[in-house]
A = this chain, B = another copy of it.
């Protein structure tokens, strides 16, 4: 049965919290999956959530902590002593533990680590804290299973039993030599079905061993795991020594965060924000793009003011200003979106820039022709057949330019190592606005002869 969070449940829970009704919570909360408890806590007031959290067992507390919203997590952590936090994070996977304490001030980190009884766990944690969170080292965990190539299967099972105590999900056994260098892997299935005296050397796979280095970018790790359909990947240091592993669930989070970031960038939001963030933070994240948009508008005003004489004689020219700017923006965003996506995927990497632009221009010609013909039929009713011609010729030109720029700009940004997703937002819209205005008004002035 999957748990469904309802308004009724929340009301009952809040009542139980107010009455400190632990019996109710034992029946309705404690047995739930930690992910469900986490989702429910995010809907409570901080004090209520911290109260429920305090009632849970250490294992659930450990699992739960990384599920909570950042503010709530900070609040909850502050209600516990360093010793208590140390006990809770000992229950967590090392990568989650490292992510968690990384958020804390330095002296607090030292205090917590000094309270971890298991020396090996403390060492692993200190090691993980050294890595940049956006690299394979920052994603990896120290819980993995390794086997020496010279072991027989029965020795391996004994050793695994010892190692496996800390490892929740095994997936794959990594095979190493006596200096800990990664040689290959062995599925648990093969181990399970092998005879006890077979040597690992005769059982393991050394073909297509895919690993990442600690310094590899986390987005690249995600791409590799997705490409090769991996559920876990070994992480090695510069000497190819096995130092950790990354599991797919952490990579799914990277993929989703990346998709969120791209979507927000394309929508003109410069920091990764959530709807629960403060008004001030949301406002700030949006400001850069709005300023760029405004700058574009000011340039646009400059362009139009250069044609003031013409507009005062033919005010009808002003009618289609929004149409021209909107269409330039829309086409530019469409073209750049396709480029940004194929860049992000690494597909189509050998096609030449000229060929891409050629194709986009063709798309521009097709759409431009269709739309120009339609708008000619409509625009001439607003003033005269001259206006129809002006709007229709400019629209075609603007669509063509917008398609070319929309393709070219993300490709250029990418060449200079700037995130091309930046191009798919107000930036390209703004550029095409200004350009479109100039084209439209120039053609207008020329054709009206004013």
Residues of A within 8 A of B (CB): 1-2, 5, 7, 10, 31-33, 35, 39, 42-43, 157, 160-161, 164, 167, 169-171, 187-189, 191-193, 207-210, 224-231, 247-249, 251-253, 255-256, 259-260, 262-264, 266-269, 273-276, 279-280, 282-283, 286-287, 289-291, 293-294, 296-298, 300-301, 304-305, 308, 311-312, 315-316, 318-327, 329-331, 333-334, 336-339, 341-342, 347-351, 356, 359, 362-363, 366-367, 370-371, 374-375, 378-379, 382, 424, 426, 429-430, 433, 437
Known A32-B208, A287-B370; 6 more pairs at CB < 8 Å: A35-B227, A192-B192, A226-B252, A268-B337, A286-B367, A329-B329
> Which one of B274, B348, B379, B424 lies within 8 Å of A347 (CB-CB)?
B274
CB-CB under 8 A for A294 and B374, given A252-B226, A311-B315: yes
User: Nearest chain-B residue to A191 (Cβ)?
Assistant: B192
A248 to B252, CA, bound (A): 9
Residues of B within 8 A of A359 (CB): 275, 279, 282
Write the nearest CB–CB distance from A10 to chain B, whole angstroms: 7
Write the nearest CB–CB distance from A176 to chain B, whole angstroms: 17
A297 and B276 form a contact (CB under 8 A): no
A342 and B279 form a contact (CB under 8 A): no
Q: Is the interface of A mostly helix, strand, loop or mixed?
A: helix
Write the nearest CB–CB distance from A440 to chain B, whole angstroms: 11
CB-CB under 8 A for A280 and B366, given A160-B192, A266-B263, A325-B322: yes
A229 to B168, CA, bound (A): 12
25 contacts between A and B (CB under 8 A): A2-B224, A5-B349, A33-B208, A35-B228, A169-B189, A170-B188, A171-B171, A171-B231, A225-B252, A248-B248, A251-B252, A263-B341, A267-B333, A268-B334, A269-B334, A269-B337, A274-B347, A275-B356, A280-B366, A294-B374, A297-B320, A311-B315, A325-B325, A326-B429, A329-B429
B334 and A267 form a contact (CB under 8 A): yes
Residues of B within 8 A of A7 (CB): 350
CB-CB under 8 A for A326 and B262, given A169-B187, A188-B189, A252-B255: no
CB-CB under 8 A for A367 and B224, given A189-B164, A290-B330: no
Question: Within the oligomer, what is the number of copies of this chain?
Answer: 2
Residues of B within 8 A of A362 (CB): 279
A267 and B268 form a contact (CB under 8 A): no
Write the nearest CB–CB distance from A36 to chain B, whole angstroms: 8
Write the nearest CB–CB distance from A98 to chain B, whole angstroms: 17
Write the nearest CB–CB distance from A202 to chain B, whole angstroms: 18
A300 and B283 form a contact (CB under 8 A): no
A256 to B347, CA, bound (A): 14
Write the nearest CB–CB distance from A71 to chain B, whole angstroms: 13
CB-CB under 8 A for A319 and B301, given A42-B347, A269-B338, A356-B275: yes
A327 and B293 form a contact (CB under 8 A): yes
A380 to B10, CA, bound (A): 54
B263 and A259 form a contact (CB under 8 A): yes
A293 to B324, CA, bound (A): 10
A379 to B305, CA, bound (A): 12
B263 and A338 form a contact (CB under 8 A): no
B266 and A267 form a contact (CB under 8 A): yes
> Which one of B210, B280, B338, B433 lies within 8 Å of A282 (CB-CB)?
B338
Residues of B within 8 A of A274 (CB): 338, 341-342, 347
Residues of B within 8 A of A260 (CB): 341
B248 and A231 form a contact (CB under 8 A): yes
CB-CB under 8 A for A283 and B363, given A161-B193, A293-B326, A322-B433: yes
B192 and A286 form a contact (CB under 8 A): no
> Which one of B248, B275, B321 lies within 8 Å of A348 (CB-CB)?
B275
A225 to B231, CA, bound (A): 13
B256 and A327 form a contact (CB under 8 A): no
